[in-house]
Amino acid sequence: MNRAALFDVDGTLVDTNHLHVVCWWEALRQAGHHVAMHDVHRAIGLPGEDLLGHLLGEDRDTGEDEALSDAHSTLYATYFDRLPPFDAAARLLCELDRRGWRVVLVTSARNAELGALRGAIGADDAITATASSDDVDEGKPAPDPVHHALGLADATAGDAVFVGDTVWDMQAATRAGVTCVGLLCGGIPRADLEDAGARAVYRDPADLLAHLDGSPLASTRGLAPPHRPQA
């Protein structure tokens, strides 16, 4: 049976969460919506429509959703040539590939963004497949993206581990029956990740790589004890 290492991208492998915060904040500001950056940050990781619903309410004028999303995408695209990967992100994916894991990226990014993100990571040879928000009807925290990624890897939930940085990542993986690993580099507190289902929490990709043999990625069943990174 194949083993699947499923990875979120923004805030997990590439240091882009705060770029997204600024771009969403500016897109909303231009449209006359005043939303605190802290609230935008907590919504990062949701697909655009769900993010806007989370921030503006389900009773908002959904007719402007497309314009807001397009404004965010236009602003964010100005960073495509300099998206910063986290230290050891590529080495982590390559090591898992070397150990026989099928690496699948599971992201809320649209296809255009995903190309820029993959270029920033620089580990295409280690990536088996990608699952984007364009591939499913419901994005995170619904389990649909994780189910789709398992299908791409031809793996079962019991033979997979999901690595992400947001509560939405943990909820989506938990609902799909997949062991969750949380990373703190996206800016979400460890307690929130654990409450949402993280079996173990690491500081960033480099910390996970350094502790790989004691992590849930050391086995297919995620039996390693929770890891608490050093302050």
User: Can 3-16+84-218 and 17-78 be said to share one CATH topology?
Assistant: no
- Strands 179-183, 198-202: pairing is parallel
- CA nearest to 7, candidates 214, 137, 228, 186: 186
CATH 1.10.150 is the classification of domain 17-78: yes
CB of 184 closer than 8 Å to CB of 157: no
- CA nearest to 143, candidates 94, 180, 112: 180
Domain limits, the chain = 3-16+84-218, 17-78
- CA nearest to 169, candidates 186, 154, 152, 157: 186
Q: Which residues touch 136 (CB under 8 Å, ≥6 apart)?
A: 142, 144, 145, 148
CB of 216 closer than 8 Å to CB of 161: yes
- CA nearest to 97, candidates 5, 164, 181: 5
Give the residue carrying structure tokens 């805030």: 11
Kindly tell me if the per-residue pLDDT of 86 is higher than 90.
yes
pLDDT tens digits, one per residue of 41-77: 999 999 999 999 999 999 999 999 999 999 999 999 9
Could you give the C-alpha distances from 131 to 39, 144, 148, 218, in angstroms and in order?
26, 10, 7, 23
d(CA 96, CA 153): 14
3-state class (DSSP) for residue 229: coil
Give the residue carrying structure tokens 């495509």: 80
CA angle at 77 for the pair 73 and 81, rounded to the nearest 5°: 160
Kindly tell me if the per-residue pLDDT of 222 is higher than 80.
no
Kindly tell me if the per-residue pLDDT of 219 is higher than 80.
no
- Tell me which fold the domain 3-16+84-218 belongs to: Rossmann fold (3.40.50)
State CA 211 to chain mean position distance.
20
Average pLDDT over residues 17-30: 98
- For the chain, give the mean pLDDT: 93
Average pLDDT over residues 68-93: 97
pLDDT of residue 178: 98
Give the residue carrying structure tokens 């994780």: 146
- CA nearest to 124, candidates 94, 161, 153: 94
Query: Is 0.85 topped by the overall pTM?
Result: yes
**Percent of the chain surpassing pLDDT 90:** 87
- CA nearest to 55, candidates 23, 76, 22, 33: 33
